[in-house]
Amino acid sequence: MNKVEITGTGSYVPPKIVDNNDLSLIVDTSDEWITSRTGIKERRISQGEDTSDMATKAAIEAIKDAKISVEDIELIVLATVTPDSFMPSTACIVQKNIKAVNATCFDVSAACSGFAYAMDIAVQFIRAGRFKNVLVIGADTFSKILDWKDRSTCILFGDGASAAFLQSGEEDQILSTYTGSDGSKGDSLTCPAVAVNNPYVDGVTGTIKSVVGMEGREIFKFGVKVLEKSVKALLQQADCTLEEIKYIIPHQANYRIIECAAKKLGIGMDRFYINLDSYGNTSAASIGIALDEVRKKNLVKKGDKILIVGFGGGLTYGGFILKVNL
């Protein structure tokens, strides 16, 4: 089995900062409510950049970091639930933008767990010997699918992209991977696409609005449950203890979800890397942005272990443990 190394990371968020007070001008909310219920203070909102634009910028940074040539990229796996279009896939648009002419490209739909799912796919392809150089991207432009009149959802999300470059190498840096889904609870976090509407459909088909619908409390409970479950499963598979983990990078959805999971795991909040105050929930980009920050701020050194875990629409969850080698 081939060994997998992460040789580069990158991330991108749009320049426009929207803080909680800005949102209180468009919906009935306040900085006090948003901060106390979620921990979010501000988020970045696209002023026109689409998912592929942000994904391309994060990808270029990861490629530079990995010091590889674009012609060497064999696979681009891009996680998103806010693609530019049904087709081409956003991965193919990024391929065109960066001129990765030798890559096979496809999108993965696993909402906020997307980065973890895409990483797992990349890892398995490399281990199996199918590809040696894989670009993983998580990117979402949630601002384009939010109902900006719905205060219970529009305050939570931000736009962004993140990327990681994975290569077949000398030392295995991925100590475990884990994923799971519960489609039976899919209705608690939704964004419909287009209705079946053709000359052979009986009756009038109503138009569908592609906006996010969410049962916040259901997702909250789900998040706490699968965070704990994923952490335990990843540790067991890697045969390591929580004490050996330098940082847990959780999906950046809500400070209180992380707090509840920390209590269940019997650990302090200082064990988690959290940046949701600055970016809100950036969906598939979230854990990759945090990973890139942890590396670029030199918060980890060679040999440190990082446990990364996501959860979201589908419902889906998953993560991986990474041994730092940079």
Q: Residue from 219, 249, 287, 324 that binds ligand UT7 (CB under 6 A)?
A: 219
Question: What residue has token string 């040789």?
Answer: 7
For residue 113, the number of C-alpha atoms closer than 13 Å in the C-beta half-sphere is 28
Nearer to ligand UT7, 65 or 159 (CB): 159
25 binds ligand UT7 (CB under 6 A): no
For residue 36, what are the contacts with CB-CB under 8 A and spacing of at least 6?
Answer: none
Q: How far apart are CA 32 and CA 55, in angstroms?
A: 33
Q: Residue from 7, 9, 38, 95 that binds ligand UT7 (CB under 6 A)?
A: 38
Nearer to ligand UT7, 217 or 297 (CB): 217
Nearer to ligand UT7, 88 or 216 (CB): 216
Output the DSSP codes for 151-208: HHHHTTB--EEEEEEEEEESS--EEEEEEEE-GGGGGGEE-------STTS-SPPPP-
253 binds ligand UT7 (CB under 6 A): yes
What residues are annotated to the active site? 112, 251, 281
220 binds ligand UT7 (CB under 6 A): yes
213 binds ligand UT7 (CB under 6 A): no
**Binding window for ligand UT7 (CB under 6 A); candidates: 55-63, 124-132, 212-220, 229-237:** 212-220
Q: Residue from 25, 184, 217, 243 that binds ligand UT7 (CB under 6 A)?
A: 217
Q: How far apart are CA 324 and CA 311, in angstroms?
A: 23
Q: How far apart are CA 138 and CA 82, in angstroms?
A: 11
Output the DSSP codes for 240-305: --GGGEEEEEE-SS-HHHHHHHHHHHT--GGGB---HHHH-B-GGGHHHHHHHHHHHTT---TT-E
**Binding window for ligand UT7 (CB under 6 A); candidates: 51-59, 210-218, 231-239, 264-272:** 210-218
**Binding window for ligand UT7 (CB under 6 A); candidates: 26-34, 98-106, 175-183, 258-266:** 26-34
**Binding window for ligand UT7 (CB under 6 A); candidates: 128-136, 165-173, 219-227, 258-266:** 219-227
Nearer to ligand UT7, 223 or 319 (CB): 223
Q: In the range 71-110, which residues lie near ligand UT7 by CB under 6 A?
A: none
Residue type, 89: S
275 binds ligand UT7 (CB under 6 A): no
